[in-house]
Chains A and B, each alone.
Chain A
């Protein structure tokens, strides 16, 4: 089967215009009991064909940021700032404009394919639904395309799986079916929210390799949300490390993982269990992430930071630029300072 006929590579748009441009995005959830400040001023952009990994722990605001890009949040969420996806302002879109965009320009795959797929429809029906929503073609043509898509994502005996219900498939196949559905209209941007976290190790690597290959073949942009640094090392071009609703460090994947500048990134790398000396304790980051209902002045990581000083608590640290597309939200890695005074690099 000629693979490049299943989905068209996105070559139509300009390679120099960012496909995602987010500036000063904030998301808060307002309810009667409390206001949760989930995302607090996030800036990032993504060029066509690029893979950005958003790394963070639970509650860091990484999934909320992704859903804000597609406006998939409930009504109590208030999104502020500038959110442009493929040149259009997402925040000012009407409901019908959003429906037209979702699935065609931007698609999303989720962590748990069992809950993301509808249990009472077959895989084929669900893929067809997306195609028929966006394209004026017949049911039989759409079903043929669905079959091609399942083969495209390397599902063995695809014709049989087309007529299967989600519960009849294993976790890896379900996730492939969801990827097929997301790619059905050749989106320019794929948002992947922890797509491999629920999978076993031997299946996780299969899906990661598949996603990377498909992304290259189709030339689409991808934002990949994960809590696992080694997943980022496998798929990312650049990474954004999130903590307490902010991007604390951003840059090229090699640079961030090998030469982390923010104490949180350094701590994460040091505390990741990966071939540690078994006779020693793991250098863990003390404490736990802050309560997102409270707005604290100063650096959000200060209470857990080994390099904390009085100025950290006084004011929010600025984004210190460390190169093109490379910054850390910390006063320590000041490029004008003597490099020997920088916090010790932690070996990964």
Chain B
């Protein structure tokens, strides 16, 4: 018997009726095997200007040749330290920034090019939730108007849009009769973030990009919002790109995880693979930097020394080599290629040690993930952050 999830009013843009048994979304075009979003060789350079003539003196490579796929119905976690290009990536995916080069394909259609998916259609299908819940809401619009604004712009009648807004507010845990007429400054941080989520869902998107959406919230509220996001994902058949610096949150919410370092993808794989069998030395150091909740399990040595280098002038070859305990001359001369992505279960890594023909002394025979490298920075020839 076909069970369907009940959905709010049948306005023009109301969320879809999803057949739970076959998990078929009426908006689906390419079929379940077609990735919802394909990112191909995405590059974004920011010019650095200086001098009397304000000429471009350098380029910051914020996102450098990034490729990955977002599969239908999954949550793809993106982790990395500040300055690694996570947020630039999010803005590129949303077309809030123009890319320098690269291609974005949404459910089989190229986005933002002549003859491809029109921008208006794309903005309906992909929405974003930002970190700062206050500055991303219009302070002069009551909550209900903020949420119904998008549907109205996309052609829904005012009354229907308000009805839809009220329904979605209810879904995100805010009683519309109380919170609908309120202004953003009358809400707490958690409530504002719920409004932002409601606004993102008002156009019934298929893809939601969450850029540090829970990072500014208190821990007890963070747990509430994470639970809400999980509920909404099931309910509206959503696909998430979840960007965060918090490794514990990413582990909890993601199906697959992408690790970025200085604008590049260093590792990508299913969440349990990444967390239990990390390959790239950076991923390993990042995971080992997580703090234990046990007061008797205190770290005496940091897993990795130094800060990430300045992206204006990244190290040659492998960008991680200045902090890597296994760095060799090959790492300085040649950037490692990321291994071939073969499917949802594939675990890819960009490191010379994992390519048998790359000429690293550990090529094809990388150290085990729980091996502790020598992290004493003074003993290494290359210095961090020169």
Contacts and interface: CB of A to CB of B under 8 A. Distances in A.
Interface stretch (A18-26, A226-234, A330-338): A226-234
Interface stretch (B42-50, B124-132, B297-305): B297-305
Interface string A256-294: 010000000001110111111010011111101100000
B230 A281 contact: yes
Contact of B82 (A171, A229, A271, A276): A171
Contact of A271 (B220, B246, B303, B307): B220
Chain A, interface residues (CB within 8 Å), range: 35 or more
A172 interface: yes
Interface in B71-125: 81-82
A282 B302 CA distance: 30
Interface stretch (B21-29, B154-162, B287-295, B338-346): B287-295
A25 to B, nearest CB: 23
Contact of B377 (A156, A236, A278): A156
B106 to A, nearest CB: 27
A63 to B, nearest CB: 14
Interface string B240-267: 0000011111011100000000000000
Given A202-B302, A206-B302, A206-B305, A57 B295 contact: no
Contact of A204 (B188, B189, B289, B301): B289
A139 interface: no
B383 A233 contact: no
Given A201-B290, A286-B224, A234 B299 contact: yes
B370 interface: no
A173 B310 CA distance: 13
A150 B81 CA distance: 25
Contacts of A157: 383
B308 interface: yes
B289 A288 contact: no
B295 A253 contact: yes
Interface residues of B, number: 52
B283 to A, nearest CB: 11
Given A229-B293, A231-B291, A233-B293, A273 B299 contact: no
B218 A227 contact: yes
Contacts of B253: 278
Contact of A267 (B220, B297, B300): B220
B293 A273 contact: no
Contact of A209 (B189, B219, B246, B299): B299
Nearest to A276: B252
B303 A202 contact: yes
A234 B291 CA distance: 7
A257 B220 contact: no
Nearest to A231: B291
Given A281-B230, A284-B223, A288-B190, A201 B289 contact: yes
B17 interface: no
Contact of A201 (B245, B300, B305): B245
B369 interface: no
Contacts of A289: 218
B222 interface: yes
A209 B301 contact: yes
Contacts of A309: none
Contacts of A283: 223
A202 B286 contact: yes
Contacts of B189: 58
Nearest to B80: A200
A185 to B, nearest CB: 27
A200 B308 contact: yes
Nearest to A348: B293
Contacts of A274: 248, 293
Nearest to A173: B307
Given A156-B383, A170-B385, A234-B298, A281 B377 contact: no
A116 interface: no
B295 A233 contact: yes
Contacts of A281: 227, 230
Contacts of A276: 252
Contacts of A268: 219-220
A171 B307 contact: yes
A200 B290 CA distance: 11
A33 to B, nearest CB: 13
A273 B81 contact: no
A295 interface: no
Contacts of B289: 201-202, 204-205
A346 to B, nearest CB: 12
B221 interface: yes
Contacts of B227: 281-282, 284
A93 B248 CA distance: 45
Given A171-B82, A200-B82, A209-B301, A272 B190 contact: no
Interface in A193-240: 200-206, 208-209, 212, 227-231, 233-234, 236
A170 to B, nearest CB: 4
Contacts of B385: 156, 170, 173
B218 A282 contact: no
B286 A201 contact: yes
B9 to A, nearest CB: 27
Contact of A200 (B81, B222, B377): B81
Contacts of A286: 224
B375 to A, nearest CB: 10
B362 interface: no
A140 B75 CA distance: 58
B293 A271 contact: no
Interface in A273-323: 273-276, 278, 281-286, 288-289
A254 interface: yes
Given A171-B82, A233-B293, A234-B291, A273 B307 contact: no
B384 interface: yes
Contacts of B285: 202
A282 B252 contact: yes
Contacts of A236: 295
Interface of A: 57-58, 156-157, 170-173, 200-206, 208-209, 212, 227-231, 233-234, 236, 253-254, 257, 267-269, 271-276, 278, 281-286, 288-289, 348
10 contacts: A58-B218, A156-B377, A170-B385, A171-B307, A204-B291, A227-B219, A228-B219, A230-B292, A254-B296, A272-B223
The 5 closest A-B pairs by CB, nearest first: A284-B223, A230-B291, A200-B81, A170-B307, A271-B223
Given A58-B218, A272-B219, A285-B220, 12 more contacts: A173-B307, A200-B82, A200-B308, A209-B299, A231-B291, A233-B295, A236-B295, A271-B222, A271-B223, A272-B293, A278-B253, A281-B230
